[in-house]
Chains A and B, each alone.
Chain A
Amino acid sequence: MKHTLSVLVENKPGVLARIAGLFSRRGFNIDSLAVGVTEDPNVSRMTITLDQQEHPIEQVTKQLHKLINVIKITDLDPERTVSRELALMKVSTDPKSRGEVMQIAEIFRANILDVGKKSLTVEITGTTAKIEAFEQLLRPHGLLEIVRTGRIAIERGEK
């Protein structure tokens, strides 16, 4: 199962390097990592997804906690979180297939960002599952390039 860790860290130089270093030397594989500043400019949030089968999540969080710049770690409960990811995909199209691709995009509520002679660039936001489903449908047309942000997540409710 995929785990999403929401990690609050001090917004200081070197913090990302420390976290990345910790993951690599302890043999933890990161599936995705997204970093951005929070409502408090001194604090950044890292959203890290990893595979729980591969790594005992408890060791990961305990080791993370030992980093002085890590303030708080939440292992997000998928039932109680909303998560999103953004992807940009460039699909090869010809005049014949363009319509079909645009139709798929519409169903997924993806935006067309750029139309070229031989390609179309779309932007899609959603859960990882949705993005992967979209990708599967576009693949037969020839996916030229994908850029994904990695998952970000937030807990439901006021808290």
Chain B
Amino acid sequence: MKGSEVIIESLKAAGVDVVFGLPGGMVIPLYDAIYDSDLKHFLVRHEQGAAHMADGYARATGKTGVCIATSGPGATNLVTGIANAYMDSTPMVAITGQARTDLIGTDAFQEADITGITEPIVKHSYLIKSAKDIPRVFKEAFYIASTGRPGPVLIDIPSDIQLADIEYKPAGRIDLPGYKPTVKGHKKQIKSAARAVAAAERPVLYAGGGIIAAGAEKELLALAKLMKIPVTTTLMGLGCFPEDNDLSLGMLGMHGTGYANYAVTHSDLLIGVGARFDDRVTGKLATFAKNARKIHIDMDPAEISKNVPIDIPIVGDARDVLAGILAELKTMKRDPKKTAPWLDQVIAWKKKHPLHYKDLKGSIMPQYVIEEINRITRSDAIICTDVGQHQMWSALFYTHTKPRHFISSGGLGTMGFGFPASIGAKVGRPRQTVIDVAGDGSFQMNIQELATAVCYDIPVIVCILNNGFLGMVRQWQELFWNKRYSETVISCQPDFAGVADAYGALGITITDKKDVGEAIRTAIKARKPAVLDFHVKQEENVFPMVPAGQSIDEMIGGHKT
């Protein structure tokens, strides 16, 4: 069997049926094998698109996403997508072609040291030097990508390895002496966590993407309900706790809700689960939940006490640990009424500092567009976003109730992520309505994937909140740089609906508030890729906002109590 055919066998063995990629000289043998295989391959227009599609596919389905690129520029075009997957812990396997083994190190045509380039942004990587290693490497790669704290794994395969003739032997047992993720939480730590929970008067659960990765949403809900604990989520955690539940505080942090940030600040016990105390969440470290004891449950030991000192650390799978804490609590004397005054306080904050915006006559408010999407999809769509103001409005004004339904670039903040990610999500969940809330700036960073969506008839709906600005940067310039809008005005905007039309997608321009809902419904009914260009109010700001480096209870546009 050819090396390339062994690659296909190895992908099949890993359960892969969908891949995203674009060929080139150093992967022609692999693509020749794909030609005869049952793999569903989606040809992209730019390799960054392939990486983000694999990422979106993985986030929507929980499976490992796969992308393929040729050596050199193909591989380097994947870099942003790999970094994005790394920062947000997405399980992904990236396959790249490489110059022939005998040419490596000679600056051969289209040679790039992609394992070197990506070293800081992968969970692990391989450069295959012998075709007989292919089955083992693939088995390990998928195992590493999808277990523990998930992440991207890169496999670089020289072209002669793809051509080599070998006997195909399926991989044996995985032997990785240096990789043994801890799943089960420490019993004693779980006990002391349960005791701390039972004793707390002002507890807050702070839940992140780790809940979704672990599939721990049921346990989270059960714990919150059992002990009557309010829950706030990070951007990555949106949907892991239903926001229509009274205990939900929505998102916390820089653009979190006032009540989430006040609750965290005044809590006496903060229970972080699958979250990493990122600077966008904590604001000024010295004042972050400063009177609270802190429990931190995480798969990755390196996250614990990295930014904030932790009183009760528990390394393990969020689901396993939360189940353990629940079981402990059920054997203990507990008084769920203990948090009643605290919940009253939370309700008071919610009343006093609700999310709000001024509805200006004659304008389409960007928040209103999100509310309409929420209403029309009954909070049931998969929402993907790009990066900027529209991303924060999607986080705040949509009611997130289900895991794997909000797909956004959190850690890296990659403009251009949302649209290809939505294509990947739709490929993975074809029956779900998938909406990409895009910025007029961000969308143009991967607009070429309209061709991919049209070509394969992937009916995602792009809703551009077109404000004529690189809005989020403009907001900072307005608030902190004296309104000096240096290079944030996006003039020379194309007619997005016209562009969509040229690609063969549905394009609608919406300039009047009364047409917003109709456009969304039309796009859903059309069952083809659609671009809705909402001309929204231009200089609108995302509030509340915690200025960088401030305490999170010191918000602009959310009054301090």
Q: Are A68 and B302 interface neighbours, CB within 8 A?
A: no
With an 8 A cutoff between CB atoms, is A39 at the interface?
no
For A, the interface residue count at a CB cutoff of 8 angstroms equals 20
Q: Are B301 and A25 interface neighbours, CB within 8 A?
A: no
Q: Which of B115, B178, B300 contacts A69 (CB 8 A)?
A: B178
Contact with B along A40-73 (1 / 0, CB 8 A): 0000000000000000001100110111111110
Closest partner residue, chain B, to A43 (CB atom): B177
Q: Are A68 and B120 interface neighbours, CB within 8 A?
A: no
A97 CA / B246 CA spacing, docked (Å): 86
A selection of 18 A-B contacts at a CB cut-off of 8 Å is A9-B178, A10-B177, A13-B127, A14-B125, A17-B116, A17-B119, A21-B119, A21-B120, A25-B120, A62-B301, A65-B302, A66-B302, A68-B124, A68-B144, A68-B176, A68-B179, A71-B178, A72-B178
Q: Are B305 and A68 interface neighbours, CB within 8 A?
A: no
Q: Which of A25, A58, A68 contacts B178 (CB 8 A)?
A: A68
A62 CA / B149 CA spacing, docked (Å): 14
Beyond A18-B119, A63-B302, A68-B124, 7 additional contacts (C-beta under 8 Å) are: A14-B115, A14-B125, A17-B119, A58-B305, A68-B144, A70-B178, A71-B178
Closest partner residue, chain B, to A21 (CB atom): B119
A17 CA / B300 CA spacing, docked (Å): 22
A9 CA / B179 CA spacing, docked (Å): 11
Could you say which residues of chain B place their CB within 8 Å of the CB of A71? 177-178
Within 8 A of B (CB), among A14-46: 14, 17-18, 21, 25
Give residues in B with beta carbon < 8 Å to A: 115-116, 119-120, 123-125, 127, 144, 176-179, 300-302, 305-306
Could you say which residues of chain A place their CB within 8 Å of the CB of B120? 21, 25
Could you say which residues of chain B place their CB within 8 Å of the CB of A25? 120
A52 CA / B297 CA spacing, docked (Å): 26
Please report whether the interface of chain B is mostly helix, strand, loop or mixed according to DSSP: mixed
Could you say which residues of chain B place their CB within 8 Å of the CB of A62? 301-302
Q: Are B115 and A10 interface neighbours, CB within 8 A?
A: no
Could you say which residues of chain B place their CB within 8 Å of the CB of A66? 300, 302
Could you say which residues of chain A place their CB within 8 Å of the CB of B115? 14
Closest partner residue, chain B, to A20 (CB atom): B119
A10 CA / B175 CA spacing, docked (Å): 12
Given contacts A10-B178, A17-B116, A70-B178, contact A65 B123 (CB under 8 A): no
A71 CA / B115 CA spacing, docked (Å): 21
Could you say which residues of chain B place their CB within 8 Å of the CB of A9? 178
Closest partner residue, chain B, to A62 (CB atom): B302
Closest partner residue, chain B, to A42 (CB atom): B177
Closest partner residue, chain A, to B153 (CB atom): A68
A135 CA / B333 CA spacing, docked (Å): 67
Could you say which residues of chain B place their CB within 8 Å of the CB of A59? 302, 306
A62 CA / B306 CA spacing, docked (Å): 10
Q: Are B178 and A67 interface neighbours, CB within 8 A?
A: yes
* Shortest CB distance B430–A (Å): 34
A149 CA / B178 CA spacing, docked (Å): 27
A69 CA / B115 CA spacing, docked (Å): 15
Could you say which residues of chain B place their CB within 8 Å of the CB of A63? 302
A142 CA / B127 CA spacing, docked (Å): 48
Could you say which residues of chain B place their CB within 8 Å of the CB of A67? 178
A69 CA / B124 CA spacing, docked (Å): 9
Closest partner residue, chain A, to B300 (CB atom): A66
Q: Are A14 and B178 interface neighbours, CB within 8 A?
A: no
A25 CA / B118 CA spacing, docked (Å): 13
Closest partner residue, chain A, to B148 (CB atom): A66
* Shortest CB distance A103–B (Å): 49
Query: Which 9 residue pairs are nearest across A and B when measured between Cβ atoms?
Result: A62-B302, A71-B178, A68-B124, A71-B177, A68-B179, A70-B178, A21-B119, A62-B301, A25-B120
Given contacts A25-B120, A63-B302, contact A14 B177 (CB under 8 A): no
Could you say which residues of chain B place their CB within 8 Å of the CB of A68? 123-124, 144, 176, 178-179
* Shortest CB distance A61–B (Å): 9
Could you say which residues of chain B place their CB within 8 Å of the CB of A70? 178
